Amino acid sequence: MKKVYKCELVSKTELCPGIFDFVVKAPEISETAEIGQFLHIDCGGKTLLRRPISICDFGEGYVRFAFQVKGEGTRELAKFEVGDMIDMMGPLGHGFKMTPGEKAVVIGGGIGVFPVLGLARETDSAVFLGFRNKDLVIMEDDFKAVNDNVTICTDDGSYGYDGFAIAAMGEYLLENKVDMIYCCGPTPMLKAVKQIAEYRNIPCQLSLEERMGCGIGACLTCVCKTTGKGMAEHKQVCTCGPVFDAKEVVF
Ligand SMILES: Cc1cc2nc3c(=O)[nH]c(=O)nc-3n(C[C@H](O)[C@H](O)[C@H](O)COP(=O)(O)OP(=O)(O)OC[C@H]3O[C@@H](n4cnc5c(N)ncnc54)[C@H](O)[C@@H]3O)c2cc1C
Ligand code: FES
């Protein structure tokens, strides 16, 4: 049974309009957290269901997460102030599986950059982060503080590499051999990364997002299609994921 904790908000920053970065005191969660796992958060207000938000970072006694205001739940979450207690369940799901000594590519898009910060720090990797434009670039300093090989990409060329992060990654892969690709981002990015990984025969892990209900495998709201047969054709993203082997995922 997953435990629920009341965690004190100790830091709140608005990274850019409508995108918030929270740090909470959460000793029990930080003790067992893995990169790529998520929290299921009671956002307060009139929301009934918890909302899933990835763990962005964690350390002794604290957990950091960041989120974009999308609808009612995240709008309510953004109203919490430093000193308030937030009710959260976690850490939930399966995170990324890293192998010591591997050479990796880490690629994230938009709010999908949050769960890959730990990978940028913990792996010997080249990191590609994609955003629509310069105003939406977030966490550049955080990534550059932990990794020397970070490429910021903007779709409209207003900052950094001019084009999609997958294009920058594709160019990198022409000249560099890697053992693993890790990705979190919007579905078109996940699909493209899966294709490139298969074409180049590189193992790849994708972090998927589905709407969630219970967060613990009971309601089947979050199922995704996989290559499994029979009952295994559909898997719960909350308990079997959110990180999957790309080969297993059917888009
Ligand atoms: C494992 C996991 C990790 C996540 N991590 C983060 C994170 O680190 N930061 C972050 O900002 N968001 C993250 N999300 C997405 C976040 O959970 C949703 O944006 C949030 O639940 C929306 O709730 P809401 O009440 O504000 O909006 P709603 O009113 O419920 O929805 C607003 C809009 O967002 C869409 N939406 C809602 N939930 C999802 C979803 N799960 N995937 C895609 N679209 C959705 C709806 O279709 C609608 O268009 C994550 C989702 C999952 C499943
Ligand atoms: S959210 Fe209920 S089974 Fe995944």
Asked if residue 210 is part of any domain, the answer here is: yes
pLDDT(17) > 70: yes
Last residue of a domain, one of 41, 62, 92: 92
Tell me which residue range forms the domain holding 222: 103-248
Pocket of ligand 2 (CB under 6 A): 212-215, 217-222, 236, 238
Q: For residue 230, is it within any domain?
A: yes
Q: Could you read off the pLDDT of 152-186 as tens digits, one per residue? A: 999 999 999 999 999 999 999 999 999 999 999 99
Residues 159 and 178 in one domain: yes
User: Are both 62 and 152 inside the same structural domain?
Assistant: no
The best mutation among 236, 240, 244 to test binding of ligand 2, ranked by most ligand atoms within 8 Å of the C-beta, falls on 236
154 assigned to some structural domain: yes
**One domain, residues 21 and 55:** yes
| Neighbour-count burial for 84-102, b at 16+ CB within 10 Å, e otherwise | eebebbbbbbbbbebeeee
State residue 122's pLDDT score: 96
Same domain, 127 and 221: yes
Residues 55, 138: one domain? no
Task: Give the number of the atom of ligand 1 that is nearest the alpha carbon of residue 52.
Answer: 17
Please give the share of the chain, as a percent, with pLDDT higher than 70: 100
What integer pLDDT is reported at residue 2 of this predicted model?
Answer: 72
Contacts of 74 by beta carbon, 8 Å cutoff, 6+ apart: 43, 51, 67, 68
Ligand nearest to the CA of 217: 2
According to the model, what pLDDT value does residue 65 have? 98
Q: How far is the CA of 52 from the centre of ligand 1 (A)?
A: 7
Which of 63, 92, 121 terminates a domain? The answer is 92
How much is the pLDDT for 230? 86
Kindly give the distance from the C-alpha atom of residue 211 to the centroid of ligand 2, in angstroms, as a whole number: 9
Residue 97 lies in a domain: no
Supply 118's token pair.
């730990």
Do residue 60 and residue 168 come from a single domain?
A: no
Of the residues 20, 53, 77, 96, which should be mutated to test ligand 1's pocket, given the most ligand atoms within 8 Å of the CB?
53
Is 47 inside a domain boundary?
yes
Mean pLDDT over residues 88-92, rounded? 96
Cα of 237 vs centre of ligand 2, distance in Å, is 7
Distance CA 164, CA 155 (A): 5
Both tokens assigned to 220: 């089947």
Beta bridge pairs of residue 94: 242
* CATH number of the structural domain spanning residue 88: 2.40.30.10
Tokens of 30: 């930080």
Please report the pLDDT score of residue 153 as a whole number. Answer: 98
Ligand nearest to the CA of 91: 1
Q: Give the contacts of 125 (CB within 8 A, at least 6 positions apart).
A: 103, 104, 105, 106, 119, 147, 149, 182
Indicate which ligand has the atom closest to the C-alpha of 212: 2
Please name the residue whose Cα sits nearest to atom 7 of ligand 1. 53
* Domain count for the chain: 2
- pTM, entire model: 0.96
Residue 245 C-alpha to ligand 2 middle, in angstroms? 19
Q: Of the residues 92, 115, 144, which one is the last residue of a structural domain?
A: 92
- Beta strand spans in 60-138 (E): 62-68, 85-92, 103-109, 124-131
pLDDT at 3: 87
Q: What percent of the chain has pLDDT over 90?
A: 96
Distance 239 CA to ligand 1 centre (A): 17
Does residue 193 form part of some domain? Answer: yes
The pLDDT of residue 1: 65
Same-domain pairing of 59 and 128? no
**47 and 83 fall within a common domain:** yes
| pLDDT 10s digits, 124-157 | 999 999 999 999 999 999 999 999 999 999 999 9
Residue 218 lies in a domain: yes
Give dist(CA 135, CA 25) in Å, integer: 30
Q: What is the pLDDT of residue 100?
A: 92
Ligand nearest to the CA of 20: 1
Calpha distance 34→91 (Å, rounded): 8
* Whether residue 136 is found in the same domain as residue 232: yes
Residues 116, 212: one domain?
Answer: yes
Summarize pLDDT for 191-232 with one digit per residue, the tens. 999 999 999 999 999 999 999 999 999 999 999 999 988 888
Q: Quick one: average pLDDT of 28-49?
A: 95
Q: Is the same domain home to 159 and 236?
A: yes
> Which residues make Cβ contacts (< 8 Å) with residue 31, sequence separation at least 6?
none
The pLDDT, as a whole number, for residue 131 is 97
113 shares its domain with 175: yes
Q: Give the mean pLDDT of the chain.
A: 96
Q: Kindly report the protein residue whose alpha carbon is nearest to atom 8 of ligand 1.
A: 54
The residue-averaged pLDDT of 232-246 equals 95
